[in-house]
Amino acid sequence: MNYLICVLQQMLKETRTFTQIMFESYTYLYCFITLSLLPSGFTMLRAFSHTNGRCVFHYTKCWHHRKSVLAIRREDVNAWERRAPLAPKHVKELTKMGYKVLVQPSNRRAIHEKEYVKAGAIIQEDISEASLIIGVKRPPEDKLIPKKNYAFFSHTIKAQEANMPLLDEILRQEIRLFDYEKMVDHKGMRVVAFGKWAGVAGMINILHGLGLRFLALGHHTPFMHIGMAHNYRNSSQAVQAVRDAGYEISLGLMPKSVGPLTFVFTGTGNVSKGAQEMFSALPCEFVEPHELKEVSRSGDLRKVYGTVLSRHHHLVRKRDGQYDPVDYDKHPENYISRFHIDIAPYTTCLINGIYWEQNSPRLLSRQDTQKLLVPVKSAAGAMDGCPELPHRLLAICDISADTGGSIEFMTECTTIDNPFCMYDADQHITHDSVEGSGILMCSIDNLPAQLPIEATEYFGDMLFPYIEEMLLSEGSEPLEKQNYSPVVRNAVIASNGTLTPKYQYIQKLRESREQAESLKMSVEKRVLLLGSGYVSGPVLEYLTRDSNIDITIVSVMKEQLEQLTKKYRNVTPVHMDVLKHEEKLSSLVKKHDLVISLLPYSAHPFVAKKCIDNKVNLVTASYLTPAMKELQESVEAAGITVISEMGLDPGLDHMLAMECIDKAKEVGATVISYTSFCGGLPAPEHSDNPLRYKFSWSPQGVLLNTVQSATYLKDGEIINIPPGGALLDSVTPMDFFPGLNLEGFPNRDSTKYAEPYGIQTARTLLRGTLRYKGYSRAMGGFVKLGLINPDPYPLLSSTAPPLTWKELMCKLVGIKSPAEHHVLKEAVFSKLEKDKSQLEAVEWLGLLGDELVPAADSIVGALAKHMEMKLPFGTGERDMIVMRSEIGLRHPSGHLEDKFIDLVVYGDNKGHSAMAKTVGYPTAIAAKMVLDGEITAKGMVIPLTKNVYGPILERVRAEGIMYSTRSIIKQ
C-alpha cells in the first residue's frame, strides 16, 4: 500500500487530468488486489513508465524476491563527487518492498551514512551479493564484479577514448550496463538526469566569476558577494545570496560605465531552466532575442536582462537564409549560425546548455570570437577610475561541457578546484586567471556535485520508478529473456559480453576514430613558428604545402601576422611578445610538435628551455652559442632534438663544406686548408649608399658582428682579433668575382670547426663575411663614434625624454648641447680622424640632424632601428647572396687539389629575398625532416652528417638555390 501511495504522489507531480488520475488509480488498485491473491511466496512485480499520461505495465514472476539485493557503490573517481544515485527516502521505499539495500561506506558522500541506515540500508564494503550495483559516475575497472547488473553514467556512447578501457572490461566480465544517459522516452527526451542542478550550479558559479572578472577590469559589483555553488549548504542559501546581490543592483549600485548586463540562455531543456531559475533571483527582465540590441545599449541599470535562445533565433539555411526545423533535423550541415552576428555582440554572459552533434553548426568559432573581442572605442567622458568594458562579451558558462563542441575553442573543461580560465581568441590560448585579455570561461563537467544533496534527491526521484525492473534479473541471464520496459531496455549498452544491437555502432565508431587518430598522429603535425620577419615567408610557404601541417605563428608585428595568415593556409596568428609572456609561451609550446625560432639568437636559450620543459623539438637558423651548449645535458635528458645553424651562414656553408670533405675522405684525401666567405648584399645596381648595404636581415646582428672578436688559423698559426672594432682592420680584398668589388673579414671563431668538420689536418681554417668595398670603412666610423655600443643606455629608454640624433652625437663626441651644426660636424670629423668617407656615411644617415633617436635599450639598438628605416630594400629592389668556399686537398698520390664551391642567389622582385630563401628553405626542410622522422638524433644537432645535409642540399636545389663546384689539380 505504501508503494501505491508513492505512485499516486508521482502522478500528482505530473500534469494529469482528474479522469486520468482516477483511471490510473483504479488500474494500480487492480494490480494490487491481484498481487494480494497470488499464492504465498509468489509476487508479481511491476515496472512502469509514464508517457504522455499513459501508464505502461510490465509483469514479471519472481519467487523469493526478498533475496534480490541492490548496492549503492561508493563514488571514487573524483574528489568532488559527493552525490549518490538514490537518497535515503528511496532506499526506505525499497526496503519496505522487501529488497535488501547495501551501501558502501564513504565519508565523502554528502548524505550521512546514518540516514541510509535509518532508511533500512546496510553499510558494508562487500557488495558482491547484489544483483544490481548503481552509482553516479563510472567505477574503476579493477572494482568491477563479473556478471552483475551495473547502472551509471558510462560516457561511452560516443566511443569516448578515456572510457574505452572501462567498456572493454565490462564486455570481458560479461556485465550488463545500464547507462542513465540513454534512458529516454518515446520522444528521445531523457527521463533520468541531473540537468536542472547543472544549470543551477553553473549559474551560481558564473555570477561569482563575473564578480571576479569585473573586479579585474576595475569594477566592484554586487556579484562579489556571491560564492561558488559548493560554498552553500543548499540552493536556498545560494538563492538568498543572489537575491541580496540583486537588491543592490535594484538600488542602482552597478557601475554605470559597464552598461546594462545581458544574459543569453541557449536551449530550452532542464539545464537551461535550472540556470534561468537561479537567474530569476536577480531583478531581471526577459526579452526576445531581437530586443537584445536595444536593451544592451539603453536598458535600465537597476535590472539585468535575459533572453532564451532557440534554434530558430540563430540558425539559417546556407542557400536561402531560412530555418526549417524538419529539414534541419535531417541536414544540419546545410545550416549556419548567426549567433556571432545577431546575438553575441549584445551579450554580456552566455549560458550554454545545448547538446552539440557532429555536422551541426557551432554557436561560436574562434574566428567569430576574435571579431567580438575587438576593443570598443572609449566614450569621450570615460575616466581611468571608471573604465568602460573592453568588449561586450565578458563570460561564457558552458554547462554542456562538450569539448570542441558548440563552443569550438572550449577544448578542455575547467574544474571545481580551478573553475575559471581566460580564453584569448587573438592569441588562441587559455590561461588560468580572471585577469588579462579575453573571455572568462567556466566549463565544469560535474556541476551537480556542487549541490550534492538536492541533486541526489532530484535524480533519485527520476530513477526510482525504474530501479525495480533493473533489479529483477541477474546480469548473467540472457538479455532477450528480460521483460524490460522500452526506457530500460534502450539503456542497456552491453550484456552477456557483447554490445547490444543498438550500440554496436560504438565499436565501429571506435575503430574509425582510432584509425583516424592513428592517421592523424602519423601525418598531422603542429608547428609553432616564432617570428614573422623576412625568413618566415619561405618557411611558411614550404611547410604549408603539406595540408597536414598546422602552423601557429607568434610575433609582436601585427601587420606582418595579418599579411602572412592571409597568404598561407593552415596558419593561426598569435600577437604576442614571447619574451614578456613566459607562461603563455610555455602553454603554446606544449600544444605543438615542433618549434621553429626565427627570433634573435639571444632569445634561443629562453625558447629552448621551454621546449625542454615540454619535451618539444626545436629548430633554429642561428649559431649554437655557448648559452645553447649549456643546455646539452637537459636536451638529451628530455629526449628531444634541438637543431641549430640551419640557415645560410651558418647552415648551407656547413653542408657544402661537409659534402666536399666527406667525398674527399672517401678517396683518401686529407684537407690542408679551408676558407669560406659569405655575405648577404644588395644586388650591385641597388648598392647606392655610403655603406653599399641594405637590410634584409637583423640590423642589430649585422652591426654587432663588426665589433665581435675573431679567431682563425693561417698557415698553422692561430690569429686572434680582439673585440671592439679591430675586426674591421683585418679586411681583405676578395677578387674571386672581380666585377663585384668585394671585401671580406673574419667571422667569430673559425678554429672551433676543425673538430666537427673532421679537418684537424688543415693548416688554414678561416670563415668570414663578405661586403662591398667601402662597407668596413664606413662601419669603422660608427665604431669610432661609439655608436656600436650594446651597453644599456637609459637616456634612450621609452620613459626618458625624447632625444635627437644631434643631441646624442654631442654627448658621444663630448661637446655641450645644443651645438651649431658646423661645430658638431667638425667635432665628429675630428673623432673620425678626418676620414671623409666615414663623415659622408654619418651625414647621409642623418646622424647630425634633428630627427628623434628611436627608443631602445642601447645605442646600437637605436642605430639598428634607424638604419632599418633608412636602408630598406625599396619596391622592385632585390638582394643577393654570395658564398665562396675553397678547400685545399692532398691526395694519397701527393697531388694537391683546390676545390671551389660557389653559391650566388638573387632575390625575387615580387617574392622572397635571397637571404630569406637561403635561410628559410633549409630551416623549413630540416623542420619537415624532424616532423617526418627523417632526423631522429636526440640532443644538439648541427648539419654536419650526410643523413642530414644530403637530403637538405638536394631539396634546396629543387627550390632554385643552385651552387657550382670546380677543381684545380696541382702537381
Each residue's pLDDT tens digit, 206-217: 999 999 999 999
pLDDT, residue 161, reads: 82
If you average pLDDT over residues 472-494, what whole number do you get?
A: 91
Catalytic residue among 368, 649, 653, 879: 649
What percent of the chain stands above pLDDT 90? 63
Tell me: pLDDT of 12 over 80: no
At residue 564, the 3 state secondary structure works out as helix
If you average pLDDT over residues 527-550, what whole number do you get?
A: 90
Compute φ and ψ for 682, nearest 5 degrees. -70, 150
Angle, vertex CA 762, rays to CA 757 and CA 766, nearest 5: 75
Please tell me what DSSP assigns to residue 588.
H
pLDDT, residue 9, reads: 52
pLDDT tens by residue, 89-108? 999 999 999 999 999 999 99
pLDDT tens by residue, 779-806? 999 999 999 999 999 999 888 899 999 9
pLDDT, residue 899, reads: 92
What percent of the chain stands above pLDDT 70? 90
Check the CA dihedral 232-237-238-241 and report its sign.
Answer: negative
Tell me: pLDDT of 386 over 90: no
Tell me: pLDDT of 858 over 90: yes
- pLDDT tier at 130, thresholds 50, 70, 90: very high
Measured between alpha carbons, how far is 389 from 391 in angstroms, rounded to an integer?
5
Judge residue 140's burial from the number of C-beta atoms within 10 Å of its C-beta, 0-12 exposed, 13-18 middle, 19 or more buried.
exposed
Tell me: pLDDT of 183 over 80: yes
Catalytic annotation on 126?
no
Tell me: pLDDT of 633 over 50: yes
Tell me: pLDDT of 427 over 90: no
Tell me: pLDDT of 324 over 90: yes
Among the residue ranges 4-8, 85-89, 516-520, the one predicted with the least confidence is: 4-8
pLDDT, residue 519, reads: 60
At residue 427, the 3 state secondary structure works out as coil
Judge residue 463's burial from the number of C-beta atoms within 10 Å of its C-beta, 0-12 exposed, 13-18 middle, 19 or more buried.
buried
Q: In which region does residue 564 sit, left (phi positive, over 0), alpha (psi from -120 to 50) or beta (all else)?
A: alpha
If you average pLDDT over residues 713-741, what whole number do you get?
A: 90
- Cell 545570496 belongs to 241
- pLDDT tier at 349, thresholds 50, 70, 90: very high
Higher pLDDT, 232 or 38: 232
pLDDT, residue 32, reads: 45
pLDDT, residue 697, reads: 63
DSSP characters for 637-689? HHT-EEE---BBTTBHHHHHHHHHHHHHHHTT-EEEEEEEEEEEEE-GGG--S
Q: Which residues contact 581 (CB under 8 A, 6 or more apart)?
A: none
Q: Judge contact between 784 and 694, C-beta under 8 A.
A: no
Q: Which residues contact 486 (CB under 8 A, 6 or more apart)?
A: 49, 186
Average pLDDT over the chain, rounded to an integer: 87
Long-range pairs for 667-670: beta carbons < 8 A, 24 or more residues apart: 667/891, 668/891, 668/892, 669/889, 669/890, 669/891, 669/892, 669/897, 670/761, 670/889, 670/890
Task: Report residue 357 as a C-alpha cell.
Answer: 552533434
Please tell me what DSSP assigns to residue 45.
E
